[in-house]
């Protein structure tokens, strides 16, 4: 997943799947990525890490940050 995001510079599953250049049909790759993303159980940890990183780079008094899981 991360390789696909970095290689394609996109976050849509279809674009990530295209950037992987797999020999299986695109639909199957998208389905696999979707299934694995749904099963990922560390969403809250990733969001906490992201928020702490963003906080370091923004002026907290004037910033509005919206985060959803």
Cα angle 13-41-68, degrees, rounded to a multiple of 5:
65
Task: List C-alpha distances in Å: 41 to 28, 36, 37, 55, 68.
Answer: 22, 10, 9, 24, 15
pLDDT of residue 53: 84
Report CA torsion sign: 52, 58, 63, 66. negative
pLDDT of residue 23: 95
Residues 6 or more apart whose CB falls under 8 angstroms from that of 15 comprise 4, 8
| Residue 64: pLDDT over 80 | no
What pTM, to 2 d.p., does this model score?
A: 0.60
Please report which confidence band the pLDDT of residue 68 belongs to, taking 50, 70 and 90 as the band edges.
low
pLDDT of residue 69: 58
Residues 12-55: pLDDT tens digits? Answer: 889 889 988 999 999 999 999 999 988 988 888 888 888 888 88
């Amino acid at each position: 997943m991360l390789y696909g995001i970095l290689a394609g510079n996109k976050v849509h599953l279809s674009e990530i799947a295209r950037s992987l250049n797999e020999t299986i049909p695109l639909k199957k790759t998208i389905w696999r990525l979707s299934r694995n993303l749904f099963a990922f159980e560390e969403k809250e940890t990733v969001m906490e890490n992201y928020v702490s990183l963003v906080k370091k780079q923004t002026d907290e008094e004037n910033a509005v940050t919206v985060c959803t899981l």
